[in-house]
């Protein structure tokens, strides 16, 4: 069983100060947590600046990374939902879906800033051409750091989990919400790559288990909105350099993020397998 072990607090002095104050300073800068970028011209300029930094910085990281080697193999964590540690989502009726904001059989979507996730897979054994018709199983925590199928109150839920095929460009797309930051981990998304959707639903022939790191500047903007206050405190206590998964290198795992809290974000990552 793979266990994610919380890390010791690291340096991020500004956010630590904000977190210690309940995040009030940052929330005020972002429109008092209204769920949109801001309510006034001054606050709008601040949020726009942060959003621009998020987009530019993340895109630069993604565009300068050359996909010449396979994305690192990472832990699936203690909440994979693939049958390896208790619950098994993969074989459930309806598991193949692009909109993962709800639980299977439920019409109530989880709260949070809208997020579209686009994961593109290249086949390094075939001249880095798009890996088409692969099966991607993707999962992450909700706004408050809970993983469906595990933990008090959510064992019967299946939110923020789904399987999608890759298209002709090697891309699988999911509609979700921006995950929260929980204690001990940098904000992230888990995924597994299978040769096909049938392989994913039967948990057979898995090619890769890895994680997507979310860019810091975009996280700062998102976490200033309603419902993410705990994420400000938790994120202040870690960094990519100290995170148990990403500390040995994250250039192949850091997503680019574009968008806004009012209209939603799109996170993109190109990986090699």
pLDDT digits (tens, 9 = 90+) for 186-244: 999 999 999 999 999 999 999 999 999 999 999 999 999 999 999 999 999 999 999 99
Q: How far is CA 247 from the centre of its chain?
A: 17
140 lies in some domain: yes
The pLDDT of residue 30 is: 31
| Residue 141 pLDDT level (bands cut at 50, 70, 90) | very high
Q: Which tokens in the block code for residue 138?
A: 């993707």
Which whole number is the average pLDDT over 39-54? 32
What is this structure's pTM? 0.79
Instruction: Judge whether residue 251 has pLDDT over 90.
Output: yes
Expressed as residue numbers, the domain containing 208 is 13-272
Asked whether residue 223 is assigned to any structural domain, the reply reads yes
6 within domain boundaries: no
- Span 3-33, pLDDT tens digits: 343 333 333 333 333 333 333 333 322 333 3
Tokens, residue 49: 């600046």
Instruction: Please state the rounded mean pLDDT for residues 102-131.
Output: 96
Closest by alpha carbon to 201, among 103, 80, 94? 94
CB 43 within 8 A of CB 49: no
* Domain count within the chain: 1
Q: Helical H runs in 112-227?
A: 197-201, 216-222
Torsion angle, alpha carbons of 58, 64, 67, 69, to 10: -100
Instruction: Report the alpha-carbon distance of residue 38 to residue 27 in Å, rounded.
Output: 10
Decide if pLDDT at 95 tops 90: yes
In a domain, 88, yes or no: yes
Confidence bin at 161 (pLDDT 50/70/90): very high
Whole-angstrom Cα distance, residue 134 to residue 170?
A: 8
Is 3 within 8 Å of 184 (Cβ atoms)?
Answer: no
pLDDT at residue number 44: 31
pLDDT band at 169 (very low <50, low <70, confident <90, very high): very high
> Is residue 3 a part of any domain in this protein?
no
Per-residue pLDDT band for 74 (boundaries 50, 70, 90) equals very high
The answer to whether position 242 is within a domain reads yes
- Asked whether residue 36 is domain-assigned, the answer is yes
CA torsion angle for 163, 58, 245, 79 (degrees, to 10)?
-30
7 inside domain: no
| CATH number of 176's domain | 2.60.130.10
């Amino acid at each position: 069983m793979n266990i994610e072990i919380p890390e010791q607090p690291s340096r991020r002095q500004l956010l630590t100060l904000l977190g210690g104050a309940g995040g009030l300073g940052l929330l005020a800068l972002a429109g008092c947590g209204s769920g949109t970028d801001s309510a006034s011209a001054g606050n709008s300029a601040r949020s726009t600046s942060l959003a621009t930094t998020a987009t530019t910085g993340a895109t630069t990281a993604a565009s300068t990374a050359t996909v010449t080697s396979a994305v690192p193999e990472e832990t699936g964590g203690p909440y994979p939902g693939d049958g390896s540690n208790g619950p098994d989502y993969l074989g459930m009726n309806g598991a193949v879906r692009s909109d993962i904001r709800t639980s299977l059989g439920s019409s109530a979507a989880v709260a949070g800033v809208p997020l579209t996730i686009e994961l593109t897979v290249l086949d390094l054994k075939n001249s880095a051409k798009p890996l088409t018709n692969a099966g991607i199983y993707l999962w992450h925590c909700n706004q408050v750091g809970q993983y469906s199928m595990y933990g008090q109150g959510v064992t019967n839920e299946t939110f923020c989990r789904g399987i999608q095929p890759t298209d002709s460009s090697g891309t699988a797309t999911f509609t979700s919400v921006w995950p929260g930051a929980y204690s001990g981990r940098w904000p992230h998304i888990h995924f597994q790559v299978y040769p096909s959707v049938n392989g994913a639903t039967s948990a057979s022939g898995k090619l890769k288990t890895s994680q997507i790191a979310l860019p810091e500047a975009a996280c700062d903007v998102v976490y200033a909105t309603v419902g993410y206050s705990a994420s400000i405190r938790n994120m202040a206590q870690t960094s990519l350099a100290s995170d148990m998964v990403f500390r040995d290198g994250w250039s192949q795992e850091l997503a680019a993020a574009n968008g806004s809290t009012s209209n939603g974000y799109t996170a993109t990552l190109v990986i090699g397998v």
